[in-house]
Structure formats: structure tokens, C-alpha cells
Structure 1
Amino acid sequence: MMASQPNVVFILCDNVGWGDFGVYGGATPTPRIDQLASDGIRFNNYTVEAQCTPTRSALMTGRQSVRSGTFRVPFSGEGKAGLAPWEYTIADLLSDAGYATSLFGKWHCGDTEGRLPTDQGFDEWWGYRNSVDEAGWTSYATFEAIAKTKGIQPPQLWEGEKGGPQTAVRELNLEVRPFLDEMIVEKAIDFITRQATADKPFFTYVGLSHMHPPERVHPDFDQTSPERLGQYADLIAEMDYRVGQIVDCIEQAGISRDTLIVFSSDNAAGDIPAFQGGSNGPFRGSFMTPPWEGSMRVPAIVRWPGAVPAGVITDEMLSAHDWYTTFASLAGASDKVPTDRPIDGIDASAFLIGESDTTGRDSIIFFGPDGSLMSVKWHNVKVVLRYSEGIDQPIVKPQWPMLFDLASDPGELYNLMATKMDMGWMMGVALKFVADYQTSIAQYPNIQTGAEFSGYGSR
């Protein structure tokens, strides 16, 4: 008998590739993550957005990030960014459905008052507002010499409660960097333990810091096994341990059959030297080469004993946008999903609990860091309209759209529009999804980055 309102624990790692974990073919042993997959569903065709902020925005709202003006990470000094207070996040929705809500770790969906986690539906949070790259700022003598004159403050770890002030806990720097995921998981475990005996369900979002530069390995994992030579492998080993700690906490609290766990990544493994490793499996590209499949397809695992069938490996499509509507359905709160705005997520709850053979998703449109369309994927057929080959490379628009059969060619090596030239009919399928999007923004224009948006009125 499954819980009428399951607890939800969403664990999100940062820039971990499709092929990094053992169960996905990774070389570093990850027994706890592998067991998590064995106990539930492993998605092989799960898609995120182009960067950290877009993916996290999609998770929070069930909407393409371009609709919310959150289609790329904001830079220091650019002004207000992140989710407008008008957005109705999954934390808002579950809170209104009777859930206790919390976030521990990375937010990156707004760093100003009114756009912080406790302004966006979370009862409590502890973590950092933007990205952990800020941990390296104060290591430069130039920062201390110039930052204060430019109004740039040393990055902090923060905590707060809904309706209360934000309090700086300590400086986010290289001293704390090796211990950050340990601290994040400790906070999550404390919350889960407290809520396990409460009379209401809970939702906790655990935003791990690994694998994002600058990296530092926790001393308990730094070259502590002869099986691991490099930093990346040590960090994967720690991640596996941290996931195991959360699972053990849920087991020890006696709430396994009441708790849905999702474990995933926000982006692919990187293509910059600081990562010193990472695998995106058989797919072309990496973090900074959108929209090649290696930049948008990442691991995703779901476990809920007694409700989600065990041992399932699926190529069914799912995207970061789909958790919003899926969680709403599982919580019995589908009526709280907004109808005054486009929602791009689909409800995959029937698939998760074994009542359907399909997630309901058959396509995904993918936007770039400039907010413009880059590709359209329908099942295993992919149309590439624009592409980039690296963080320091431009976005290129080919003369003709490029067409790939991912089932035969996961490396996107053979452009069928060039090698066969008899596949133009597929453009009609792809452009239908584009037309649907264009129709929606004609009625509901995309919100501009940082705008004080308050709704679409009587539309």
C-alpha cells in the first residue's frame, strides 16, 4: 500500500555525466548509487537544460527556463536575475498541499531578497545562493584589494526560514570547500529525521556541490583507496557515500515505503581542464557544447519501495520539467498546477508506479544560453538547428538543419540531411513542436530576465 502523499527527497548533483556512475558504465565503484538504481528505475533517456540555472529553474517551475528569463547563469554585477516571485515553484505547490519543505545546498535561482529559497516556497534552507565557483573568489589577493570598492562581498553560506531573515553562517571559501557536501547532507539528514515523526509529509531538495570547480576532496576520500588515482574518482566515491547516508537515514527512520527518492544531475560532465575527468557515455559533446546529446542527457534514478517497481531500466523519455507535474500528481495536488501560464512538464506518475508503459513524453525542445532554440528531439530522432563546440566557441547556425538518428548513432557523427538527403519529411515533425511553442509565447510572452513580473492579467 503506497503512501497517499509520499515524502519526496530530490538529490541533485552538479555537472555529473551520464557515464560517471558504475550502473551507467562508470569505472569508479559506486555501490550505493548502483543499489539505488537496482531498487527502482534507471532512466537512460533523461534530459536537462543547458546550464545550472536553467535546469534548476525547470525543476522548480515545470517550465522551459526561457519562459522565466532564467535561460543562463547570471554573472556578478549584471543585476537582478533568477525566478520572479510570481513563479509558483514545486516547493510552493507542495507546501500548499500540506508538505514541510526544505532546501540544503545550491540554489542558483536568484540571489536577491524576494528571490531566495524561503521566498519561493521552502520552509527552511541552508546553503549557497549561486554557484560554488564563488568559493574560489577570496583566494585571490586581487579580490580583497578591489572587491570592496566595487561592492562585491565575500561569498557566504546562508540559512533562513520562511518569513524570516537570511543569516550568513560562514564564508564560502576554499577552506570549507572539501567539507561542503558533508555539511549539506548532515543538514538534510537532520531535517529528514525530524520530519519522520511529524504528522505531515515532507519535500527536501538536496543540492550537492560536486562536481563543480573549484574542487577539493574531503580528506576521508582523498587518495584513500588504491583503486582511485585521480581527484574526479575520489569525488565520485564521496558522492556515492553521501547518497548512501541519505538512504540509510530514510531506512533507519522507518519511512522507506513512504519516501520517493530521485537522484540526478543538473548538467553533463564538463569540457574544461578543472574537471579532470568525467564521462558523458557514448554521446557527443559535454557541458559546454549544446545541444549535442552529451550536453543534455544525464543520469536519473527513482526509488520508492512498494510503489516504484524495482530493476527497471528504461529508454522512455523524461525531462527536468516533468518532476513538477509528476510530484503534484503523486501528492494528490494536480489541481494546484497553475493554469494561467504554460507548463511544459508532463505527468509521468503512472509510469513511475508501474501503471503505464510510457512516461507520456515523446519530444523535447532545447534552448541555448542565449535563450534561442537549438534543437528538437522526437524519441531518438534529433534535429539540430544551431550548435556550439565549446565554452570559448560561438553558436553556429548551419546552412540546413542537421538530422541524427540517436538509436543508430549516439555520437551524432552522421548528419542524415547531408549523407542521405531524403529525410526532409522529419522537419515537419520537428517544426510542429516549434510551432506549438511559438503559439504559446504569442499568448504568454516570455518573462525578461530580472523583470518584476506579476502575471498575464486576463489572458
Structure 2
Amino acid sequence: MKLSKLKQLTVGLSLAIFLASATTSFAQTASTQKKPNIVYFLVDNTGWGSFGVYGGTVPTPNIDKLASQGIRFNNYNVEVQCTPSRSAIMTGRMPVRSGTYTVPWPGQGKAGMAPWEYTIAKLLSDSGYATALYGKWHLGNTQGRMPNDQGFDEWWGTPDTWDEAGYTQWPLFKESGVPVPMLWEGKKGQLSKPVMPLDLKVRPIVDEKYIIPKTVNYIKKNAAENKPFFVYVGYSEVHPPVIANPNFAGKSTARGGVYADVIAEMDYRVGQVMQAVKDAGVEDNTIFIFSSDNAGGGAIPQDGGATNGPWRGDFFNVPFEGSMRVPAMVRWPGHVPSGVVTEEMFAAVDWMPTIAGMVGSSNLVPKDRPIDGIDASNFMLGKSKTTGRDLYPFFGIDGELMSIKWKLYKTIFRYAQSPVSIQQPYVKPQIPMIYDLSSDPHEDNNLMYTDLTLGWVYAPSFKWIEGYEQSVKKYPNIKVGEDFKGYANK
């Protein structure tokens, strides 16, 4: 063999060894690279206009700071009540599909999600995350439907909702046969168990004494162990019965009554969790999400100070924007652009596929069922100018369609009358109403009352309805309380 050929062979062999080594090294680095931690701080019944960055008058410096460090949504949409919104967040599916569009009252039957549902907690657990929930679940109160049955390694809180704190104050409660409301805890692979009564004594201090300390300790523990974690904070306020923490009662600088006091405490608690992430040294590798599950502003007027900003509607006055448009923001230093305020449409159902995309686990999003959420991870990471969502359907607590928002137009097929909407039935207008949200955010002027040339606006809505009805034929909606096992041959 000639010397030149020998050199070529040697160089080629060396290059091959180098490339193989580099590829192996890269693969090892990629496989061992730590996924981002996730903190999801979900507040309860808090309207769009409650915080400083949304025009609120109660000082909220921590929430304002969080908003400035990432993306703040001005067009984030939730479902009709607490359980539907939480189900949408967990599954990426419209609650009408999951049988979670309403909550059975005590004595009406089984509540919450069927164990078959694949939650974001299950997805992240399958991705190697430690997972925990502290606070409100409201997606099932029987064994098999608790958080530790739905992907969480551990949890502490209420399987139902905070109004149960007031049940035992009533003299005839014992005669109802309803069990005394309890706060529970559980671990994966074990049965959940009650640990203490949920009553009016614990109600005002449950965030201070339990939910936030447990969250902070969980962050510190997993950060110290260098394990990626997902902690879901089901914060208690602002949900009835609204009772100010003694350390905050009457002390809000806004002097706006109990509502101002609980918003001030809420901001302080958000700051505690933000500081815990920073102190643990994982701030730059933690996705911090903050949102509300519902718009409560105006629904409980005796609390004072609640507001849904410029939007008409509230918790019961559906499907106007004030009943579905709530605060939301996301931060991930160095990944999510900071200082962004967006009018892009985003919804509760979008979190599951979006979070999966952000952590590189999109392959785990189920393909054997309809997923209504949109993966907006490219938007979150500054790689796209749009979320990909331009239409949002809204269902009532009877599981029937109420409205569809398409771009800047809102088509209303049914609505609840006001005042005191909770006492009123849903009403179906003769012709679906159309509102231009860009010029009429309060939805005062039904354009179909004055100008029939807008009939073309119905087209995107009816196209969506047709597609939805076809999907339901293939994948029938799960009934409330059904122990659904899966779709055959899908």
C-alpha cells in the first residue's frame, strides 16, 4: 500500500472514531440533560382585572414582577366553572368530552374524571418528573379518582372545593347524612386518607399554614436531589367562603375590604413560591405558570372590590367575556421571552400539549382520543408569533354549546340573563348574536340586531360545530360519573 493511501486511511479512520465519539457524547449529554421544573400556581375565581398589571387597584408587586419576566396573556380563556377548567388544564380535552362539564351535588353520584383520562401529571411522571399537588383538586372525591390515582406522586388538600368549609356551621348539617368535609392526603400506589376537618377555622389559614409551606418544601427537596419536578398549587382564594387571613385582614393598602385583603395575601404567597424557586437555585430552569380557573368578579358582590376588567359577565353571567377571560402568565428565564403582553388567544385546554412541547414530551400526548388543546410551545419559546388558536368554543354546565369566539368576533347561541344570573335559565335567541370584541369589549351591541350583512361570521363557527359533531360520533362523550374504560378499536 502506498504511503499516501495509508495516510488517507488513517485520517479517515481517526475522523470516523472522532465523529462516533462526538455523537455518543452528544447523545449522552442530551439524554442526561435535566428537564425544566414546572410550578403551576392556579388561583380560584379571580377575575381578569384583579392584579396591578391588569389594571387592578390592589398592589400586587410579585404577580406584576412575574408578568414582566415572561408572557402575559390578555386573551386567556377558561371553562364554565372550577371543575371544567381544571379538567381542561389536566387533560387538554374539553370537559364536555370527559364528563366533567358539571359537578354532581352531594347525593347525585360520582364526580370527577374517569381514571382512564391521561393527565399532564401522568405525562410528566412518565417523563421522569416528581409530581405533587397541594390545595384544591375538584376532579374526583372517591378512591381511584384522587390526585394520586391521576399521576401525582403525592398530594394534600381538598378533593372537592372550599365551600365545604362552611357546611358544618349549619345546625341541621348532621341530619343530612353528608360526611363531615375533610382535608386529605395521599401518595401514589396507596389509598388517600382524611387528615383533618375542613371548616371555618382552617379556611382563612389553609394557604399560609399548609398549601404554601408544603409547596416550598417540595421545591427545595427536589431541587436538592436534582430531580425535575412538577408542583401544582391549587390555591384557595378567591373562593367562597372568602375569609381574610388574620395577618392580612383590614391591612390592604387599597382598603377595599375582604377582597382586597385576600388579593394582597395571594400576591404575598406567590412571592413566597417565587423566592423558594430562586433560593433553591433553579429559577433559570423552572417554568412558572400563573393563572385563574374562573372569573369570579361581581359574582359575590358582598366581598367588594372584585372586577373582571372591561369585560361583561362573571362566574354565572355566561358566556360573556367576563365569565371566561381571566389572568394568565408564564415565565422561563432565557427561554420564554420577557416583557411580552399578548392578545393572542390561548385556552385552558392548551396547557397540556403546550407544556408537553416545552419539555420535549409531545410524543406522550395521547392519540387514542380527541385532544382539543393546541401545542403553543413555539409561541411560548419565542419561535412563533402566534399561538395557533383563533377559535374558542364555550359550553354550559348542561354540556351544551353556548358560544364560539373566532378571531375578534363572538357568536352567542345561548346566554344567561342578568341580574342575578344564577337564578336565571339559559336563553336561546332567535338568531345567534354577534359581538365585535375589538370595539365592543363589554358586548353591548349585538351586530345582528343592526346589520344583517355579517351573516358570513357564522361560517367558521358552523364549520367547527360540524367537525365537533363528527368527532363525537367517532368518540362519544363520556357521561358524568361514568367509569369509562376506553374506545374500542381506536
Q: TM-score, normalised by structure 2?
A: 0.91
**Number of residues of Structure 1 aligned to a counterpart in Structure 2:** 454
1:345 aligns with 2:373: yes
State the match for 1:237 in structure 2: 264
1:128 aligns with 2:158: yes
State the match for 1:175 in structure 2: 201
Contact 1:22 1:34 (8 Å CA) reproduced:
yes
Shift of 1:4: 5.6
Deviations, residues 133-191 of structure 1 (Å, cap 9, x unaligned): 000001111113x13xx2x1110111110011212121000000110111211111111
1:300-449 equivalent positions in 2, closer than 5 A: 300-389=328-417, 390-449=421-480
Shift of 1:59: 0.5
Code of the aligned partner of 2:142: T
Structure 1 window deviating more from structure 2 (428-437 vs 205-214): it is 428-437
Q: Point out the structure with max Rg over C-alpha.
A: 2
Code of the aligned partner of 2:184: W
1:217 aligns with 2:244: yes
1:57-206 equivalent positions in 2, closer than 5 A: 57-144=87-174, 146-147=175-176, 150=177, 152-182=178-208, 183-206=210-233
State the match for 2:295 in structure 1: 268
Distance in 1 between residues matched to 2:216 and 2:63, nearest whole Å: 17
What SS does the aligned partner of 1:178 have?
Answer: helix
Contact 2:318 2:416 (8 Å CA) reproduced:
yes
% identity of equivalent residues:
56
What SS does the aligned partner of 1:423 have?
Answer: helix
Unaligned runs of 5+ in 2: 1-29
Q: CA distance change for structure 1 residues 210 and 297 in 2, over 3 Å: closer, same or farther?
A: same
Distance in 1 between residues matched to 2:423 and 2:252, nearest whole Å: 36
Shift of 1:225: 4.2
Q: CA distance change for structure 1 residues 400 and 139 in 2, over 3 Å: closer, same or farther?
A: same
Distance in 1 between residues matched to 2:250 and 2:197, nearest whole Å: 27
Deviations, residues 275-294 of structure 1 (Å, cap 9, x unaligned): 43311111111110111010
Distance in 2 between residues matched to 1:274 and 1:154, nearest whole Å: 27
Distance in 2 between residues matched to 1:180 and 1:166, nearest whole Å: 19
Distance in 2 between residues matched to 1:449 and 1:97, nearest whole Å: 30
What SS does the aligned partner of 2:122 have?
Answer: helix
Contact 1:213 1:274 (8 Å CA) reproduced:
no
State the match for 1:9 in structure 2: 39
Distance in 1 between residues matched to 2:300 and 2:224, nearest whole Å: 45
Distance in 1 between residues matched to 2:80 and 2:227, nearest whole Å: 35
Deviations, residues 55-75 of structure 1 (Å, cap 9, x unaligned): 000011000000001001221
Distance in 1 between residues matched to 2:252 and 2:90, nearest whole Å: 38
Distance in 1 between residues matched to 2:252 and 2:189, nearest whole Å: 46
Shift of 1:226: 4.8
Contact 1:212 1:275 (8 Å CA) reproduced:
no
Distance in 2 between residues matched to 1:261 and 1:454, nearest whole Å: 34
Code of the aligned partner of 2:348: A
Shift of 1:220: 1.1
Contact 1:39 1:311 (8 Å CA) reproduced:
yes
Greater share of helix residues, 1 or 2? 2
Shift of 1:331: 1.8
Structure 1 window deviating more from structure 2 (165-174 vs 48-57): it is 165-174
Code of the aligned partner of 1:169: V
CA root-mean-square deviation: 1.2
1:13-24 equivalent positions in 2, closer than 5 A: 13-24=43-54
Contact 2:252 2:260 (8 Å CA) reproduced:
no
Match of 2:327 among 299, 307, 311: 299
Distance in 2 between residues matched to 1:254 and 1:176, nearest whole Å: 32
Contact 2:256 2:304 (8 Å CA) reproduced:
no
1:32 aligns with 2:62: yes
What SS does the aligned partner of 1:188 have?
Answer: helix
Shift of 1:194: 0.5
Deviations, residues 348-393 of structure 1 (Å, cap 9, x unaligned): 1111111110111111111001000000111111100000031111
What SS does the aligned partner of 1:261 have?
Answer: strand
Moved over 4 A (4+): none
